[in-house]
Every structure is written in C-alpha cells, then in structure tokens.
Amino acid sequence: MRISPSGFREYDARWRYPEDLDLEGMQAVGLGLGTQMARRGRGRKIIVGHDHRSYSPAVRDALCKGLVQAGAHVCDIGMSLSPMAYFAQFHMDVDAVAMVTASHNPNGWTGIKVGFDRPCTHGVDEMAELRDIVLSRAFDLQDGGSITPMPGVQAAYLADLAQGGVISRPLRVVCATGNGTAGAFAPDLLRRLGVDVIERHCGLDHSFPHYNPNPEALEMLDDMGAAVRDSAADFGIGLDGDGDRIGIVDQNGRAVFADKLGVLIARDLAVRHPGAKFLADVKSTGVFAIDPVLASHGATVEYCKTGHSHVKQRLRESGALAAFEKSGHIYFGPPVGRGYDCALRAAVAVCRLMDHQPSANLSDLVDGLPPSWCSPTLSPACPDDQKYAVVDRLTDILRGMQLHGDTIAGQPIVDILTANGARVQFGNGDWALVRASSNTPNLVVVCESFESQAQLHALFAGFDEILRQEPAIGAYDQGIGLSQRS
C-alpha cells in the first residue's frame, strides 16, 4: 500500500498518482472514511462522484471498495462536479459525500473532497482524524455494504441552477473550461438561460492540452480574454477542473478578479436583501470594507480564513447570505443557495447581474467600484513540511517591524490580521498577505494598493524582500503581471 501522509491537507486530500498514492492506498482511504462515518453516527449512505481524469474511475472504484468493506452504502452519481456532488446530498437526502478530484491541480494528481455535515466539508480536525485512522489501519469492517448507480442527478442539478427562467437581455458569453469536467455541463446550463455561448476548450480531454483548468491563473485568463475579443462577446466565464471556482473577463478581455466580482454580486444581492451579511476571505480586496453601495444597503462584511471548508462552516455559523474567495470559490447561503461553493451557480449570478443592468457593460460595473490595483494570487514554492513554520517566522518578523516603526514601500504597518497567515495593513489602506497554501507545496502572496499601479509594484517588491529572508522560499509560479485597476 502506498499512501503519503502529506496528502491529507487542511480541508481535503490530494496526492500525485500513483507516486504518492496507489489504488490499495485509496482503498484504505475508503475503509478509513467508512469507519469514520460509522463512528460519528452519520448513517451508512454516502454520495460518491468523480471527475473525468483518465484514472479517476479506477481511483473511484478503489475508494468505493474500501467504503463497502466498512459497510457503507455508496450512491454512485458517476462523472460529476464537486458542487454537483454537494447538491446530491440535498437532492437525495444523504448526509455524507466523497468527491474524487484533484480540482485544478495538474494531470497526475488525484484526491478527495469529503464531508458528513452538509453543506460543510471536512476541516482540519476531521481530516486529521481520517488520516490517523487510515495510517494506523484502525478500520472497523462491517458486512452489508453496497454500490448503487444513481442516474438523474446531473439533470436535476442543471434544472435546479436554471430556476428563474431565461434572462431578458441578449448576452454572448465565452465559456472556457480548460478541457476540464465542467465542459460537460456549463455550456448547457448557460444555453438554458438563453445565453449565446461561445465554447472555449470545453471538450473533455484529461491531458489538458492547452492549460490546466485554473481560472485564477493568468494563462487561462489571457486565453479567455483573446477569445472574448475575437468573438465580440459580452464577457467570458472560466471554470476550474471540478466546477467549484470561477474566473471572469470583461468585454475588453480584461480579467475581473473573483474578489472584485464578489463585490459586484454582493451589491446586486444587497439591493434585494437589505442588511445582509457577507464573508470575504483574507486574500480578498479591501473594497468590501469601504464600498459605499454595500454600506448604503446596510450590508456588513467579515474577513475570514481562506479555504472552502472554513468558509462553508463560517457561512453557516454567521448566517451570511454569500461568501467570496479571491481564488474564485463563491458560496450562496439560504435563501439564495444551500451554503456550498458552486461556480455554475456563480455563473448564473453573473448573467442575472448583467440582466439587472441592461444598459451597462461589465467593465462599466467594475470601473464603478472604488479604485484599487491588485496582484494576482502568487504562489512561491515552499516545501509542505516547512511552509507553516516559514509563515510563523515571517509573521514574527513583520510584528517586529510594526513594533519598531519600520516601513514597507514607504508605509508604516498599522495592523496584522493573523486569522490565516499574516495580512499586513498599511497606513494608506494598502495591504499584503502571506499564508501557507493548504493544497500544494507553496506559499500564497497577494498585494493590493489603493494609490497606484506603481505603488502596488513597490509594495510587492518591499514585501518580497522580507519574504526572501527565508531560504526555503523558491520561485513564484507567475509574475505580478498587469495589475487590475477597478
């Protein structure tokens, strides 16, 4: 059995396959998951889905074999998106879910997203418990397990998303999926809304011949932008490999980062739900906190820890109407949604937002936000077994700088939010974040300036100079690029 302990992460599990996890290892994960489910008294039924990677059916079969050995009744929904599996929990009234996917990770990765408490998924404690059961082989074998195919979930999921009927405004939209699983579902959904769809790399191809389906990466956003300009589309929608993250470009092909998109969606919701509360993760724009439109409708915004499990839990606890992550996870709580992240529901929200603004282009709405200049999410390499300690040491350095009145890019540090890494707030409203990635051997770095693009670059350079004191930090995955003004 091959199974790397480092694959069990903060809120899901991911391994290189078969180097770090083989099929016997995934069978053990299924046994551990079924054991954990029984011990927690969550019943015996569990929804299982998988993405379209070439090896995902085999990985799914191994997971299900282990679940059955633990006495679980597997409800197999077949090839699906992560939010489709979450939807199935409600549609079929089943508490537990296990989705076989590595999301937007490159080909050669696999993993699972799991949960027993809809709409929430496993967090740090639950993942640690599952890891310990699996690695110690402390399994509880039970008879009576089964696997039952469940047709019809895909159709029910799309019908649920299309409720509300077609939009009245004619829209031409580029739909880009990077040859990921979302290509099997997203174009159909948009056409049900009455949208003229221009498909971009929507054919399923597990080799990802153009780029990894990651709508946070500039490579995918730039390709979407070119497709929008070439087709004279109103905007472009990009979806990640398992359909839970969204990326947008406007009619000029300019990227609209997901946190700024979140402000627009929050504005649209706030009109219909005065006094609503919203969540934004610590990587997200400071515009949420200063937006006059949200304030005029009595909306409040709380910055919370990054990560889909953390956000779903906080959304339920707080009663927030919606939550937004810079990575493109967007969540809608009751009465708009069920509290989980779904990029297709977010795509519908963007189309209806534009329908509510029949005379405006998307760029008009973005340019109407308080102006700021943002970096993309940058991911310098850092080993999994060192990244959290590195961030702790950097936080101590930054606290020392604050105490001694030191500046970065000419600005004093006025506050450091440590809910998730270190979000450093400067005297002019600018901020910079460093945190450990929960999914890959990387750190996460984001900067935003409310002054100018030049100040953004100065801020990044000064912040990076602090980070370079740590020799374990390697190269960035992409450059700071053309920052976004909005």
Mean pLDDT, contiguous 10-residue spans, the chain (486 residues): 92 94 98 97 95 97 98 98 98 97 90 96 95 97 97 96 95 97 98 98 95 91 97 98 97 94 98 97 91 97 91 97 96 97 98 96 96 90 95 97 96 93 93 90 94 95 96 91 47
Question: What is the reported pLDDT for 118?
Answer: 96
Question: Is 103 a catalytic site residue?
Answer: yes
Task: State the pLDDT at residue 461.
Answer: 96
Identify the pLDDT of residue 386: 96
Q: How far is CA 4 from the centre of its chain?
A: 24
pLDDT at residue 170, as a whole number? 97
91 vs 210: CA distance, rounded Å: 35
pTM for this entry: 0.90
Helix ranges (H only) for 9-81 are: 23-39, 56-69
Q: Determine the longest span between alpha carbons in the chain, in angstroms.
A: 67
What pLDDT was estimated at residue 481? 62
Decide if 460 contacts 350 (C-beta within 8 A). Answer: no
User: CA distances (Å), 70 to each of 40, 75, 223, in order?
Assistant: 13, 15, 46
Cα 233–Cα 238–Cα 239 angle in degrees, nearest 5: 150
Unique residue bearing structure tokens 């390499």: 381
Please enumerate, as own/partner, the contacts of 460-466 that have beta carbons within 8 Å and a separation of 24 or more.
460/375, 460/432, 461/409, 462/408, 462/409, 463/408, 463/409, 463/424, 463/432, 463/434, 466/394, 466/397, 466/398, 466/401, 466/408
| Cross-strand bridge partners of residue 411 | 408
Would you state the structure tokens that stand for residue 239, as one six-digit string?
């979806």
Q: In which order are the strands placed within the sheet that holds 431-436?
A: 407-408, 411-417, 422-426, 431-436, 443-449, 373-374, 484-485
* Residue 257: per-residue pLDDT: 87
Backbone dihedral angles phi then psi of residue 158, each to the nearest 5 degrees: -65, -40
Residue 178 burial (10 A CB sphere; 0-12, 13-18, 19+): buried
Catalytic residue, candidates 56, 80, 82, 103: 103
Query: How many C-beta atoms surround the C-beta of residue 57 within 10 A?
Result: 15
